[in-house]
Amino acid sequence: AQSVTQPDIHITVSEGASLELRCNYSYGATPYLFWYVQSPGQGLQLLLKYFSGDTLVQGIKGFEAEFKRSQSSFNLRKPSVHWSDAAEYFCAVAGANNLFFGTGTRLTVIP
Amino acid sequence: EAQVTQNPRYLITVTGKKLTVTCSQNMNHEYMSWYRQDPGLGLRQIYYSMNVEVTDKGDVPEGYKVSRKEKRNFPLILESPSPNQTSLYFCASSSDRLPTYEQYFGPGTRLTVT
């Protein structure tokens, strides 16, 4: 069965610092992987997705993620965080009929 | 503008009073889905629909109903709401029959059942 684990519930970083949010998945076949961001009071917005090919995926807002099959991971990174990046981030893997979401990581950005 | 809309955005109701949350998309998507979001649990799928008149249960369907009479609309019905259905609800749609491609999410409906 598919599942997604986001081990960090809450992360705090300083503005301008680098960021890495962890995501581990469980899936039998080649996974379709996603990162979504949820700003306060908003719906979910797709940051990036991985289907196949290049394992380093570029997304919107300066985010990127790297698919590592050997580690069953799909970590999200950003080299320099902006205050507007404060939000909740969800990793997801596509199943046959739905998306399986992780429990989310809340990002706090301090000046 | 391509979007998924939900109404109402906020709703406070009492136990047992039937309610409907509407969802509409203007992208001609075949696939639509409802999720609920609870702290520490992420998003869990309630029901989904692959096309008009085709609906199926997700992971947490108990206490909910849906219908898909038109392609653009996918209402969520709570026949007899209970406090454990207090949650944040999201509707989503996708251009593919399967949710393997990008899903577009509505803004959410925060429901409180007292």
Highest mean pLDDT: which range of A15-19, A24-28, A44-48: A15-19
Confidence category of residue B73, pLDDT binned at 50, 70, 90: very high
What is the Cα B28 distance to its own chain's centre?
Answer: 17
Instruction: Say which amino acid occupies B43.
Output: L
- For chain A positions 52-71, those within 8 Å of chain B (CB to CB) are none
Cβ contacts from A onto B, under 8 A: 56
Distance CA A100, CA A104 (A): 12
pLDDT top residue among A21 and A53? A21
Distance (Å) of CA A33 to CA A5, A90, B4, B12, B59: 12, 11, 22, 35, 19
* Tokens describing residue B22: 């509407």
Say if CB A61 and CB A47 are below 8 A apart. Answer: yes
- The tens digit of pLDDT for each residue in A80-100 reads 999 999 999 999 998 877 888
Nearest-CA distance B47 → chain A (Å): 9
Query: In chain A, helix, strand, coil percent, each to 5?
Result: 10, 50, 40
Nearest-CA distance B30 → chain A (Å): 13
For residue B63, what is the DSSP state? Answer: T
Distance CA B106, CA B114 (A): 25
Q: Which residue of A has its CA nearest to B103?
A: A46
A3 inside 8 A of chain B by CB: no
| The total number of residues written for chain A in this structure | 111
- List the single residue in B40, B103, B106 with the smallest CB-CB distance to A99: B103
Out of A34-43, A69-78, B57-66, which region has the weakest mean confidence (pLDDT)? A34-43
- List the single residue in A45, A90, A94 with the smallest CB-CB distance to B99: A94
pLDDT of res. B99: 53
Say if CB B100 and CB B114 are below 8 A apart. Answer: no
Interface contact B99-A101, CB threshold 8 A: no
